[in-house]
């Protein structure tokens, strides 16, 4: 499969209605969305919740405490379901099941080809249930259904097929030594992997972590985000239908301070992988170090620069910068949230970026043609509005947006700021919402220095026609991924991870396998060798 920009595939048509906010002017002449045309009647999701318990040792079970917590529909804040709330005791049960499955079960002992076939059968089942899974993901998360159904679930399937292909291609080396010895390395599964995934891409992060772990022969305890626990339980059921042995994949829904902390600090977990905020990542690293010094992979926050050079086709740059920031409601760790534009094209870019934001369709994510659904929850919604207020208070120019969209749920108008300065909170902090900050620069040396002046180093975008400029920037930017004249081009084969406080290690591609393998050196004397 060729590299794919995550939102560039043709969308499957669905028989749903599309509505668009219309432009009005108020306040100081700032163009904003009208909410008059926003339909408060929401489409009923074409799916029901069948699995709301913990998955431990192949069975759906209640939490040991009997507690549950509500998972909400971000379109209106209503309760979708009450889900079992796992805590430390449930993590203990899940880890015990995973340990027994690793030490005594068939998964690490079966041939790699047999593991490959089970993973491929799972991918086929997910593909068969594509629309049902996509509907559940959209209902629980708020992202557009067309994005879930036509982009993310097919990508999920591709990732598992990719890792299935790796299962029987993991091998060590034969090494030449300085003496009469035969030396080889074995690449062994690391054991029980604890994995903690976020709410912005629940199923894709499931695939990024579970795929390589299982391909390498490990067993898994996965903690889902408390905001989005539903889709992982559904696909895990399909995994067992595909023949996955009991105890190999265990899923605990719950909160970070209880279930997450228990998993990261568990003495019988051999490795922990986490995607989420940098602050929580620090806590995970500390818990891992203070327990059994388990290995850690972290994919954390970002404040990615998107650099528009003076030779850019402005119309194309505006569209790509818009996508880089607003995709997935702006809830992307690698979002191009610092849009650096050369002074020669700055004014034109700002006007066209404002116009593009005003055309963005916002509303019920189950309606056809919607580009933007609600933010994940009340906490994130309020945080974003707080940053918007901060932007105006610190002197940035609010070009459009800046307020709630509609009267129900957690919808926010696409927001554009110009005249943003590097020391403003909206230019430094990870907002994780539909807020575009446009900054002006004069020359290449200046923008390199400013782009790198961040505690983060996850990704960057470069838009230029000049090959020399592209080559200079790709090497100078201190980030894990540089997209040149594209953005969010993801593929199962392309590694992803960050510099600095954006994380440790890489996910996806061949590099991700190293996270779940131990390297063992085996040395044997060779008596009277014919050759060395």
Tokens linked to 239: 């995994």
Residue with tokens 């994380």: 503
> What are the extents of the domains in the chain?
54-300+506-518, 304-493
Q: Is 266 left (phi over 0), alpha (psi -120 to 50) or beta?
A: beta
Tokens linked to 223: 């903690």
Q: What is the pTM of this model?
A: 0.93
Sign, Cα dihedral of 84, 332, 409, 152: negative
Fold of 54-300+506-518: Aldehyde Dehydrogenase; Chain A, domain 1 (3.40.605)
pLDDT digits (tens, 9 = 90+) for 412-465: 999 999 999 999 999 999 999 999 999 999 999 999 999 999 999 999 999 999
User: Above 60 in pLDDT, residue 348?
Assistant: yes
What average pLDDT score do residues 73-93 get? Answer: 98
pLDDT digits (tens, 9 = 90+) for 99-142: 999 999 999 999 999 999 999 999 999 999 999 999 999 999 99
What average pLDDT score do residues 258-263 get? Answer: 98
User: Above 60 in pLDDT, residue 35?
Assistant: no
Average per-residue pLDDT in the chain? Answer: 93
Contacts 24+ apart (CB under 8 A), 417-422: 417/391, 418/350, 419/395, 420/391, 420/396, 421/394, 421/395, 421/396, 422/450, 422/453
pLDDT at 8 (0 to 100): 36
Would you say 445 and 425 are in contact if contact means Cβ atoms under 8 Å apart? no
Rounded to whole angstroms, how far apart are CA atoms 220 and 251?
8
Rounded to whole angstroms, how far apart are CA atoms 132 and 150?
12
User: Above 70 in pLDDT, residue 236?
Assistant: yes
Catalytic residue annotation: 299
Percentage of the chain beyond pLDDT 90 is: 92
pLDDT digits (tens, 9 = 90+) for 272-321: 999 999 999 999 999 999 999 999 999 999 999 999 999 999 999 999 99
pLDDT at 6 (0 to 100): 46
What average pLDDT score do residues 38-56 get? Answer: 90
Rounded to whole angstroms, how far apart are CA atoms 475 and 444?
13
Beta carbons within 10 angstroms of residue 60's beta carbon = 16
pLDDT digits (tens, 9 = 90+) for 373-395: 999 999 999 999 999 999 999 99
Would you say 421 and 378 are in contact if contact means Cβ atoms under 8 Å apart? no
Domain 304-493, what architecture? 3-Layer(aba) Sandwich (3.40)
Rounded to whole angstroms, how far apart are CA atoms 21 and 371?
12
Would you say 174 and 184 are in contact if contact means Cβ atoms under 8 Å apart? yes
């Amino acid at each position: 499969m060729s590299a794919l920009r995550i939102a560039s595939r043709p969308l499957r048509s669905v028989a749903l209605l599309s509505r668009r906010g219309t432009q009005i002017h108020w306040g100081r002449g700032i163009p904003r969305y009208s909410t008059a045309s926003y339909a408060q009647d929401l489409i009923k999701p074409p799916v029901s919740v069948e699995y709301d318990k913990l998955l431990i040792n192949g069975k759906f079970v209640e939490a040991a405490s009997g507690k549950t917590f509500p998972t909400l529909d971000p379109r209106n804040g209503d309760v979708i379901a009450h889900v079992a709330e796992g805590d430390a005791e449930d993590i203990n049960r899940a880890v015990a099941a995973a340990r027994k499955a690793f030490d005594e079960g068939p998964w690490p002992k079966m041939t790699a080809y047999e593991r490959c076939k089970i993973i491929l059968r799972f991918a086929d089942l997910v593909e068969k249930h594509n629309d049902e899974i996509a509907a559940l993901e959209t209902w629980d998360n708020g992202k557009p259904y067309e994005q879930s159904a036509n982009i993310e679930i097919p990508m999920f399937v591709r990732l598992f097929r990719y890792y299935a292909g790796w299962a029987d291609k993991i091998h060590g080396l034969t090494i030449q030594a300085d003496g009469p010895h035969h030396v080889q390395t074995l690449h062994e599964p690391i054991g029980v992997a604890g994995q903690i995934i976020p709410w912005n891409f629940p199923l894709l992060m499931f695939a990024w972590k579970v795929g390589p772990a299982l391909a390498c022969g490990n067993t898994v305890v996965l903690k889902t985000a408390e905001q989005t626990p539903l889709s992982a339980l559904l696909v895990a059921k399909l995994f067992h239908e595909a023949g996955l042995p009991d105890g190999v994949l265990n899923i605990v829904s719950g909160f970070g301070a209880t279930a997450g902390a228990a998993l990261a600090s568990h003495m019988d977990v051999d490795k922990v992988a986490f995607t989420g905020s940098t602050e929580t990542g620090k806590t995970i690293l500390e818990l891992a170090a203070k327990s059994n010094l388990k290995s850690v992979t972290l994919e954390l926050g970002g404040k990615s620069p998107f650099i528009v050079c003076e030779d850019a086709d402005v119309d194309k740059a505006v569209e790509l910068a818009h996508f880089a920031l607003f995709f997935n409601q702006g809830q992307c760790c690698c979002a191009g949230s610092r849009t650096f534009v050369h002074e020669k094209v700055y004014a034109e870019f700002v006007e066209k970026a404002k116009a593009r934001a005003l055309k963005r369709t916002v509303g019920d994510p189950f309606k056809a043609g919607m580009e933007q659904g609600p933010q994940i929850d009340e906490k994130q919604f309020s945080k974003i509005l707080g940053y918007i207020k901060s932007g105006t208070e610190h002197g940035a120019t609010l070009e459009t947006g800046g307020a709630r969209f509609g009267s129900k749920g957690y919808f926010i108008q696409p927001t554009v700021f110009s005249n943003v300065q590097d020391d403003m909170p909206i230019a430094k902090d990870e907002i994780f919402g539909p807020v575009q900050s446009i900054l002006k620069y004069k020359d290449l040396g200046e923008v390199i220095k400013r782009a790198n002046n961040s505690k983060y180093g996850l990704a960057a975008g470069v838009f230029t026609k000049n090959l020399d400029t592209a080559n200079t920037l790709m090497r100078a930017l201190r980030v894990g991924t540089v997209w040149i004249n594209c953005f969010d081009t993801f593929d199962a084969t392309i590694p992803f991870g960050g510099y600095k406080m954006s994380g440790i290690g890489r996910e996806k591609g061949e590099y991700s396998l190293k996270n779940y393998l131990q390297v063992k050196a085996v040395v044997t004397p060779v008596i009277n060798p014919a050759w060395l």
